[in-house]
Structure formats: C-alpha cells, structure tokens
Amino acid sequence: MAQPATPTVRKIIHVDCDCFYAAVEMRDDPALRGRPVAVGGDPHRRGVIATCNYPARQFGVHSAMASSQALRRCPELVIVPPNFDKYRKVSTQIHDIFRRYTSLIEPLSLDEAYLDVSTSEQFENSATRIAQALRLDVRREVGITVSAGVGPNKFLAKVASDWRKPDGLFVIPPAQVEAFVTALPVGKISGVGRVTGERMKGLNLKTCGDLQQLSRLELGQHFGSFGERLYHLCRGEDSRPIQTGRRRKSVSVERTYEKDQPTLTDWLRELEGLLEKLKERFAKLDQHYLISGLTAKVKYQDFISMSCDKAGTDLEPAHFEALFCQLWERREGPARLLGIGARLRDLKAPQQPDLFPEERDKAMHNQRNKL
C-alpha cells in the first residue's frame, strides 16, 4: 500500500507595522519624534485614542482609551487627529512591496498582513531572508518600521511578529515548534481574552505545555467550542490557509456623541441617521451577501459597553427599535455611543449545495429592494 505524501511545511510571514498611524505622523512631522504621540480624537470632545507610540505607552496610554484620560496619564502627550486617507495610501505602498515577494497575501487591516512564501523563488526560498528584505524595503521606501514573524503557520507567525517589537524579526523554525509552544504563555494564544484567561488561571494553566496535559474532552468541558481549537494551538498546529480574498462577516455603524443621549427616546431618535448610514454601507457591498442577523450596541458614561442580537433578514427600523429597547431594559442610562449592524451570509463562501437556487435568488433580490 502506497504511503501518503508528506505534507509540505508552509512558510508564513506575519507583518505588523509598528504604531502605524503614529509612525506615519512622526515620519511627516520631525518635531514629533522622540515625544509621546497618539492619534485620536479631541480630548475636549470625548475623543478616543486610535493608537500611540511606545513613549506614550510607557505612561499607560493605549488604544480605545478616552483622549482625556490619556492626557491625565501623560500630560506631555501630543494627540494628532487621524488622517485615514493618508494611512490608506501608505498601506497601499506597503502592500505593493509585499507583492514583490508573493501573491499570496491576506490583509488583516491597514497595517497588518499574512504572507505565504512557501513557493517563493526569492532568496532561495528563505522565508527569513524574505522577511529581512521586505522590512528593509518598507523602512527605506515608506519611512516607517515593521515587525515580522516567520513560522510554519499563521498562529506561530503572528506570535513571532510580536516577540521582538518594535522593529524586530523573530523566526520559529519547524524543528523548534514543540519546545517553543510548550513554554509559551497561554495569554499569547489568539482568542484567550480576559474571561478565558481568568478561567485558565483558576485551573493553574499558565503555559501551552499545561494545556497539552488536558484531553480534548477536558478542554471542551472547560472551554466549550473553543476547546477543540485550543487543543491544536497549544501544540503549535494551525491548518488555516492564506485567504487572499477576504470577505466580510458583518457591516456596522456607530456614533460617539459630544453630549450623552440620556433617554430611550433620545436613543430611538438617533436610529434614523444610523440606519441610513448602515443601508449605505450595505448597498456598497457586492451582490453576494445576505443579511443573517442584526445587532445593536451602546457604550455608557462609564465606558461599559453592552450589545444584543436578534434574528432578521432585512434592515427594517422596527428590528433595531426592539434591540434598543432590550438594551434599555438591561441597563437604563445616558449613552455616549450608539451603534447598529448586521451579520452577513457570504454566498461566495464554501457551503452545502443549494437545493433551491430560485429561493436563494428571490431572497437576495428582496433584501436589496428593501433598502
């Protein structure tokens, strides 16, 4: 009986720009260099920090923090208003550099991407040398720094890119994967947030090596559906391919207010404007999306956020009115932010054969007409 072919080890690079928005602003204004810098909203108009450089982080400033709070922590902080058109242009420059080395690129955001260089002929197919070269190209041609991680899969490459930030390169060769992940702290696993982390702490699970001692069944009992993924990640296993054509899973809009919206009546009054913007965004998507669910979100004065969901296949106002009412019932109080959105079903995604294509086409037509 013929032996199955040994799978080829992939070579994945994860590239992450260092403090991207702030780095671009410091590049364009030399007076900002060496100072604590953040990109974000006006602290006097309830702005929020989008990102900040490392000198600012030393004071405890971080993204999603209120700009006013950031200034209290770092009185010398320079807050620059964001210029997303400029950041998109810089991102395009960086991706043009990526394409010199591979066409298999999965963008995660303006400043982050996976590259599959498994079959690249550059630098004798050395992923390490490719990562070194593209980092040098970005520094020389774009004027900012990027950190890169090299590994045999997406999980390990992403962990590696964060290992020597900023302006670093870290490589996890296949032969070193077992030793590396055994000692890896559980907090480095994508998907392990505060709640899961506390649960692991309670179980005295500190490293991936500790997780490896639990069976699939035990991981499932402790962590639900996430347990199966944990079983593989704690062993350094990740079979996800590079997705060159990333598709949307949702579409949403939100608004932060200069003055709180104090009552449910005020919340509902804001719905018309939010819904108009949501419909505009949905209309700009291609014709292969269907709405599969609806959501609403509120952030209160104390920055605590709550959200709720419901089934739905159209963007009728009554659906979102019901969601806002549910949120108000859970917690009454002034809102500093309101948002609404829709979960999407992607008809281009792999799925079961469509036994009733006429019904699918009719549903898609009806959804678009309801806009």
What are the CA-CA distances from residue 243 to residues 92, 154, 229 (Å)? 18, 11, 19
- Percent pLDDT > 70 in the chain is 90
pLDDT band per the 50, 70, 90 thresholds, residue 44: confident
Model pLDDT, residue 341: 95
Cβ atoms within 10 Å of 24's Cβ, excluding its own: 24
Model pLDDT, residue 355: 40
| pTM metric for this prediction | 0.70
More confident residue, 195 or 27: 27
For residue 353, pLDDT over 50 is answered with no
CA gap 181, 291 in Å, rounded: 39
Tokens 């609806």 belong to residue: 294
266 is in an annotated binding site: no
Cis upstream peptide for 166 (omega within 30°): yes
Domain with CATH 3.40.1170.60 in the chain: 20-84
Q: Is the CB of residue 283 less than 8 Å from the CB of residue 371?
A: yes
Using N-to-C axis directions, what is the helix angle for 264-284 and 317-330, rounded to 10°?
140
For residue 6, pLDDT over 80 is answered with no
Please name which of 245, 270, 275, 240 lies closest in space to residue 258, comparing C-alpha atoms: 270
The tens digit of pLDDT for each residue in 94-136 reads: 999 999 999 999 988 889 999 999 999 899 999 999 999 999 9
Model pLDDT, residue 222: 93
Work out the mean pLDDT of the chain and round it to a whole number.
Answer: 89
Model pLDDT, residue 220: 92
Domain with CATH 3.30.1490.100 in the chain: 250-369
pLDDT band per the 50, 70, 90 thresholds, residue 190: confident
Using N-to-C axis directions, what is the helix angle for 226-233 and 216-223, rounded to 10°?
130
The tens digit of pLDDT for each residue in 132-174 reads: 999 999 999 999 999 999 999 999 999 999 999 999 999 999 9
For residue 182, pLDDT over 60 is answered with yes
333 burial class (0-12, 13-18, 19+ CB within 10 angstroms)? middle
Model pLDDT, residue 357: 45
Catalytic hit among 25, 76, 106, 112: 112
CA gap 106, 324 in Å, rounded: 36
Please identify, in words, the CATH class of the domain defined by 177-233: mainly alpha
CA gap 349, 344 in Å, rounded: 11
For residue 359, pLDDT over 90 is answered with no
Question: What are 27-35's contacts with CB under 8 Å, separation 24+?
Answer: 27/143, 27/144, 28/86, 32/78, 32/80, 35/76, 35/78
Model pLDDT, residue 331: 94
Domain with CATH 1.10.150.20 in the chain: 177-233
More confident residue, 180 or 289: 180
Q: Does domain 250-369 have CATH number 3.40.50.1980?
A: no
Q: Is the CB of residue 74 less than 8 Å from the CB of residue 56?
A: yes
Model pLDDT, residue 348: 65
Region for 129 from its dihedrals, namely left if φ exceeds 0, alpha if ψ lies in -120 to 50, beta otherwise: alpha
Helix (H) or strand (E) holding 78: strand 78-80
Please identify, in words, the CATH class of the domain defined by 20-84: alpha beta
The tens digit of pLDDT for each residue in 214-261 reads: 999 999 999 988 899 999 999 999 999 998 876 678 899 998 888 899
Where would I find the beta strands (DSSP E) of 227-346?
250-261, 289-300, 305-310, 335-346
pLDDT band per the 50, 70, 90 thresholds, residue 56: very high
Among 91-100, 170-179, 208-217, 283-292, name the one with the lowest average pLDDT. Answer: 283-292
Model pLDDT, residue 5: 41
Residue 88: alpha-carbon gap to chain centroid: 16
116 is in an annotated binding site: no
Residues whose CB is less than 8 angstroms from the CB of residue 298 and which lie 6 or more positions away in sequence, other chains included: 267, 305, 306, 307, 324, 327, 335, 337, 338, 339
Active-site residue, 112 included: yes
